[in-house]
Chain A
Amino acid sequence: MTTVRELHDKSAELAQAAMVARHEGREEEAKSLARQALEYELQAAGLVPKEQASEPTRSILYLSAASLAYQCKDLQTAQRLVAEGLSGYPPPKVEEDLQDLFEQVAQELQSDIEYAPEIEEAGREVGRAAVSARDNTRRVNVHLRDIHAAK
């Protein structure tokens, strides 16, 4: 049976390779390696029971998995994994790291919402609709004035 140790070592090895790829500007490869590392780390974390005696191993594994999800830009998964880590019995230092990561992810999610192209396009559509409605109103007003003038 594969142990937590074997799964984590595999994950850490891939995470290292991802770090080097990112450092050397191979972004896509870095993401792919981080994604593979995440799969192994999730398996490792899943094998550790959620009990006080499992700490700090359990919370560090979830912190590590959340960091990998963050590197893959899978922000929702990163948040879920941080929450999973916090739901156990993390020691103060790890808890603080989990909270820092949660804030980092939350900030990115917020900026994604602010700068999301689909929201920008939706805003433009609303703007176009408003201009169109204004023009229509003006046309109707001109038409009404013409009717009044004709009377």
Chain B
Amino acid sequence: MTISNTSQDLVLEALEQIPVVRRTAPFYQEKCMVCLDNQGHASEVALDVEFGESNTVFRVLWSGQVTEEMKQSHADLQEAVEFAACAITFLVVPALTEMTIVEQASRGTTVDYYLAPKDRDDCLIFNRTARLEVSGILRETESNSVEGRISDKLRRLKPNPRGEMPTFVSVVEFGRPRAKVVKT
């Protein structure tokens, strides 16, 4: 059964309140604004988020305008889409779960994200954590859909028979816009 929740606000400026992205929040915010603007959306756009059995409609809010300079500096939107998807995910996951982003480590082209309970321990900070896989689609097509991307990600995940570290897979699409989050 699908449960629909009423609208909640996702304020892009609130990225600054997440410790890990405090310094880089404007970077993520700009990518997100540019992607949504590219798809004809403005602040207050409704974002449908599917997580497990629930559907939640968020209102995505931000201040400021997308300038020509910002658009020109994002000629490669595919790259911006990945960061924009992260921005949305970093805000959506804490709104829907008891987890928050705690780590982002990059190795070459690979980026790892971890989620931890909001009330995590002061020492064993990664005990009870989950991995986070994020992906972005500017505008989905039949061959490049949110569901298809989720399936690809799930197929590539290594088995986790003992369930010691679950994975959240989040795919954000900016055309409609919508997002789907799955927990393994």
Q: Spell out A's residues near B (CB within 8 Å).
A: 3-6, 8-9, 12-17, 19-20, 23, 47-48, 53-57, 60-61, 63-64, 67-68, 70-71, 91-94, 96-97, 100-101, 104
Contacts and interface: CB of A to CB of B under 8 A. Distances in A.
Contacts of A5: 120-123, 125
Chain B contact patch, size range: 20 to 34
Interface in B97-133: 102-108, 111-112, 114, 120-127, 129, 131
Contacts of A14: 23
Contacts of B108: 104
Contacts of A19: 24, 104, 106, 111
Contacts of B23: 13-14, 16-17
Contacts, number: 91
Contact of B102 (A12, A47, A104): A12
A92 B105 CA distance: 18
25 contacts: A3-B122, A3-B123, A4-B122, A4-B125, A5-B125, A8-B125, A13-B20, A13-B22, A13-B23, A15-B104, A15-B105, A15-B106, A16-B20, A16-B24, A20-B24, A55-B127, A56-B126, A56-B165, A60-B103, A64-B103, A70-B107, A91-B164, A92-B158, A104-B107, A104-B108
B19 A56 contact: no
Contacts of B126: 56-57, 60-61
A117 B120 CA distance: 48
Contacts of A101: 107
B24 A60 contact: no
A93 B158 contact: yes
Given A12-B102, A16-B23, A56-B129, 16 more contacts: A5-B122, A5-B125, A12-B104, A14-B23, A16-B104, A19-B104, A47-B123, A48-B124, A56-B126, A56-B165, A61-B126, A71-B107, A93-B158, A93-B165, A101-B107, A104-B107
B63 interface: no
A53 B126 CA distance: 11
A57 B125 contact: yes
A6 B122 CA distance: 8
Contact of B21 (A3, A8, A16, A100): A16
Contacts of B27: 20, 23
A146 to B, nearest CB: 64
Contacts of B160: 93
